[in-house]
Structure formats: structure tokens, C-alpha cells
Amino acid sequence: MLPDSEASRYYTIRTEHDSLIQEHLKQEKGERMLLLRINQCRMDLEESLDLLVPSHENKQHANIARVFAGYRSSLSSTKLRECLVRGLDKLVADFPADKKIAFADCSGSKVSFPYETNWEPLPAMEVGIIASLPGKDTQSLQPPKWRNISLLIDVRSSIEDDPMKQEKHSRFEIFKDLAMKAHNLMVARNHLFVFMLGFYGSQCRIFRFDCAAVVVSQPFKYRRQTRLLSEFFWRFVNPTEGSLVVGADPLVTFPTQAELTGITRRLAERKRDQFLTKDPDVCRRITVPSSKARTPARQYVVYELLWINQEGIFGRNTMVWRAFDEETGEDCVIKESWRDERYSIETKFYERLQKRIPEHEYFGLPRLLGGDTRYASGCTYEAIRDAIKGHWLARKAGVLHRDVSSGNICFADDKPYKGFIHDWDHSCFPDEPVQVYMPFPGRYRPRPGWEQVGTIAFMAVDVLQRANCRHEVHHDLESFFWLLLYVIRQRSDLKITKKSPQFSDFFDGNQSQSGAAKRHILEYSGISVTNNPALTSLLKSFKNLCYRNLRRLDGISLTYNAVLSLFDKALERDDWPVDDSAWSPSATEPAPEPAPEPAPKPAPKPVPEPVPEPAPEEKRAKRRRKGDPPNSHRSKKARKA
């Protein structure tokens, strides 16, 4: 056991009451953050239409003065929706056929998440009045699918039901529901932003949702100001860009039925047509502009959604797709996301890596355009080792990743390395001051790398438990240990003795739970893998390094040389199970390696790190009696990195 002074230094005992308080505070924070994203437009509605719904088309409005003549304040909710659908149909009756949208009352119908996924999707959402895509009739809305909906209409019978007139908690609940629907609408067609209309008694509001905020128009009397409503719909179906509606991404197009047949044929040649057979609505064409002048844009066909951020519309809204280059047929993975304004643009990190790392040393790192599939088979532990080498090269180029996780390590086909590390949008330039734009005009602040960023399941104990902890290289190296443990738990029979009560929250818990469980594993638990002595040895040695680094027994013991030598030693062993798909004999063929720390000449042999002599058995036993976990003082020999 640790002395009382040590225990109080590392642990905070939380009661069930404390946990309830923390959960309540978390809910309050979420409610407050959503309400802060609601922005009511102070401009006159006619002026705000130019800003919110940009269009170059001007419309001569027909006689639409009495399209909502059937409205009465005493109408029931059902009759009110019927009245609105009739009026809206009359409002767009003179639109050209390819621009006309149809309206349908689908109240009571629940629309499932836009994509079929292997993980738990968001719950099905109940919709009210919905609008079709331009040129489509109501048949396209039966049954309703998010991909076939252009906008949503929220209907409530009284002016007092207007969410902007509600007290904070009620406003939060209404906007939470609207935001979830807007998120489904947005990701279904890769929109940049989406619109919703709110009819509250005799008044109407326009809502525009994007990944940063929701803009709410001034209310207007839609029976008297019908021209404004007609102007909105005309602008909505006549965007300035070459897209279907305002808010649609002009770089994303959907194939016709004939094009879809051709795409299916190309996928069938690679025995991958099952993806479109399962969910044909996912197929679309994405144009990626080149970052280089005079280089044409490249077009990719995406045919499977691999991952999506389900935290809601506000945020980075990351989506990851399986795709192929339409010109070359090369397989790739495409990631699209919105940049968090707190961090530098991700492309800056790629440009730095490609500028400062010579071509012959470019190892375990991604290219800015194109790339390799993340779902190749086998060689998992080689891929992790090579990603560590790529991380080393990046750090020598002045870039620190800060978000090592299972989703950011990819397999590489036809490369000198088995895996690489990508997704650099949480990275920093730790050797130089960086100025970051803040959401207040004219204000900047230095960002030296002190933010608490990363994926909780893989973050280092120090970063999770220490306030104002500067993120360093050894924290990322510890993240590779948790990544290794995660991969082994998914693939093999992992045994952990002396588990902590929080072990179930090891990868799924919150920040405090994950930090406590990880510290307990490093300090008290034993780790082994059934019928795999090589992997068990790698795990124990890596855990020992992390423990000694956490307790600062040898200063900073987590270094690139130390970690890579563990992987090389383990991969060179001949006692790996024959049926272990995560290991391949090619590990005995060493790939090009980054220069040692530091690297005065290209590719010199690494200098072995000084290692203390192994302690005698009686000293080792004595240390264990003092409370150190088993294997924490295992001697190790430096090997070539």
C-alpha cells in the first residue's frame, strides 16, 4: 500500500453524492453551452434574408395574399398542420417544376438515423411537416427518409409556445430537440448548414443551424407578410452556388441511377459491392480541391460510412468514409470535419511534416491528399510500432500530435511501413509560440500546449489527473500503451489481476474514472495475455516503463528509444502464436527507422540508452514488500531502435 501522504497526493475519494453533483454540473454546463449558441438576429427580416439565404434570383410574386385564409386560432394541432400544408403548397405553386418542393404532414412518423451503422445509432426522431427536395413530389416522402427531406417545419398552436419566449430550461429542451433533427438533416446530405421553420400560432420564425450556432430570425405574421415566406422559399431553391438548395455543399453530388449502376460494377470488380447493396443512399461523389496551384481537383466516390461523431450538430461534426479515386481507382479513406477555432488548421501540420522531413525518411506518416486504407489486415503491432516512429519524426520536425487513439492509427498497403499516425488537428508546435484566434474580435492568446486535449480512453494519467499539465512527448508515448492494451483486449484473452472498482470505466468512463482506473492498473495490477508469452512480455515491459515514468523513478523514462526497443525485441521473438492475425513474420525485416535522439547525421545507428544493472533477486523482493507493483523494477537491455 502507498503511504498516506502518497495516497492523498494521487487520489481523490468521491462518494455517490459527489458523483451525482458532478453529473448535475455536467448537465448544467451542457444546457448553458447550448443556450449560448442561440443567436437572435436583430436585423429586419427582409435584410436578414440576404444574409441567411443568399441568392441571385429575383422573383415576381403572384397573388398569394390569402393562401392561409383557413387559419383560425381555435384550430386543433391536426387542423392547423393541414391548413399550413395547403397554404405552403399554394405558396410554391408557380415555381418551375425543377424548383418546386412538396409538403407533407408526417406527424407521428419516426425517421431513423440516416445511415445503417455497426454501432448504436442515435434514436429515431419524430418529424412534423417536412418538405421534399426540389423537383420531387410527396411520393418521395413516403416513407420519410432524411436524405429526401430539404427542410423541417416545427408547428405549435400558440404564440406562447415560441421557444424564444420560454424560460431557460424549457428553451433548452425545445432547441435540444430541434438541434438533433437538424444534425440528422445535415449529415444525411453533407450540408454546410440547414434551415427549419417554426410556426407558433399566427407567427413564424426562420432557424438556420450550422456546426457553430443557430441563428433565429425575428418573428413575423406569416398571414399578413406572406411575401416574405414566399421570398424565403424562392431563395432556398435558387442558391448562388451550383447546388440543389441553399446550405448544400457544392463539392458533394449524388449519382444518378445510371451512374450508381456503373459505380456498383466497379465495386463488384473488387468484391466490395456489398456495401452499396446494404445502403445505396450512402453513395456520393466528393470533389477535393488541391492545395497546390494549377493542380486540378480530384474526385472521390464514397460508398461506406466508417465513423461519425454522434455528439450532435454543434462541434467538429467529423465523418470518415471509405472511398476510391474516380480517376485512378485507388482505395482511400476520406475524413471531413469542421475546424475548431481554438486550434491551428490541420493542413499546416501536414505541410510542416512534408517540408521538414526528407522524402527518404518519410515513414509512418500520412500524405495530405490520397492515402492508405485504415482497414488492412494483420500486422497490428508492427503498425503501432511504425506509427511511433512516425510520431518521432514529426516531433523532430517540431510537431506534437497530442491525440494518440485507436481511430488515428491506420494501416498502410504497399508502403515501407505497416502503419501511420494521422488526424493532426489537435496537434501543436511546442517549440514556438502560437497565436490562436479567439471568438472575440481583436483578442489573441498564446497557446503553449497546456490545453487538456485528446481522447479520454487513451490519455495519459498525468494529463487526466493534473490540472494545467503541459502535454509532452512522454504523455503521447503512454497513450500508445493504452492503445496497445485496447487492441489486445479487442483481439485476445487479456487477463488483468487486482482490478480497481473503476475498471469497467477504463475505456468508457469520464475523465476522473478513466484516470483513477489507469493509475490503479499501472501501480497495482498484473497483466498477461493467454498463450502469448511474446505479447505478455511486451505489455509488462511497456507497463513498467509507464509506471516508472509516472512515479519519476528514473526521471523521464518514456523515450522513443526505450519504447521502440521493447517493440523490436518482442517482434523478433519466435514464440508468437501461429494463428495471431495481429502479428506477421515480416517483423523480422526491419523497416527504415528515424534517426536517434538527437540526429546529427542521416540515419546513424542509435546510441544505446544507459540502463542500470539488474537488481538482485533479494533487492527486487524487498522493493515489492515496500509496496511497488510486480514487474515494476524489471531490468531491461537497450536494443537497436
Buried/exposed code over 564-602 (b: 16+ C-beta within 10 A; e: otherwise)? bbbbbbbbeeeebbeebebbbeebeeebebbbbbeeeee
Each residue of 54-94: pLDDT tens digit? 887 777 666 677 888 888 877 888 899 999 999 999 999 98
C-alpha span between 271 and 275 (Å, rounded): 10
Measured CA to CA in angstroms, residue 316 lies from 187, 289, 341, 399 at distances of 12, 20, 10, 22
CATH code for residues 37-236: 3.90.1570
| Percentage above 70 pLDDT, the chain | 71
564 pLDDT band (50/70/90 cuts)? very high
Each residue of 452-472: pLDDT tens digit? 778 888 999 998 888 778 888
Over residues 155-170, mean pLDDT: 89
Domain over 395-625 is classified CATH 1.10.510 = yes
370 pLDDT band (50/70/90 cuts)? very low
Task: Kindly report the pTM of this predicted structure.
Answer: 0.63
C-alpha span between 177 and 127 (Å, rounded): 10
Please give the single-letter amino acid code of residue 298.
R
479 pLDDT band (50/70/90 cuts)? very high
Buried/exposed code over 99-112 (b: 16+ C-beta within 10 A; e: otherwise)? bbbbbbbbeebebb
295 pLDDT band (50/70/90 cuts)? confident
Task: Say if CB 270 and CB 277 are below 8 A apart.
Answer: no
CATH 1.10.510 residue window(s) in the chain: 395-625
pLDDT at 504: 58
Task: Say if CB 534 and CB 541 are below 8 A apart.
Answer: no
Residue 554 has pLDDT above 70, yes or no: yes
Buried/exposed code over 46-75 (b: 16+ C-beta within 10 A; e: otherwise)? eebbeebbebeeeeeeeebeebbeebeeee
345 pLDDT band (50/70/90 cuts)? low
Each residue of 587-598: pLDDT tens digit? 434 444 554 554
pLDDT at 541: 93
Residue 567 has pLDDT above 70, yes or no: yes
Cell readout for 162 is: 415560441
Over residues 296-302, mean pLDDT: 89
Each residue of 212-264: pLDDT tens digit? 889 999 999 998 889 889 999 999 999 987 789 999 999 999 998 888 888 88
CATH 3.90.1570 residue window(s) in the chain: 37-236
Judged by average pLDDT, the poorest of 36-50, 94-108, 222-236, 498-512 is: 498-512
Task: Say if CB 35 and CB 172 are below 8 A apart.
Answer: yes
Q: Could you give the angle at the alpha carbon of 119 between the alpha carbons of 115 and 124, nearest 5°?
A: 50
pLDDT at 292: 67
pLDDT at 506: 66
Instruction: With CA atoms as reference, report the closest residue to 391 among 410, 379, 382, 404.
Output: 404
Highest mean pLDDT among 74-83, 128-137, 314-323: 128-137
Over residues 320-333, mean pLDDT: 87
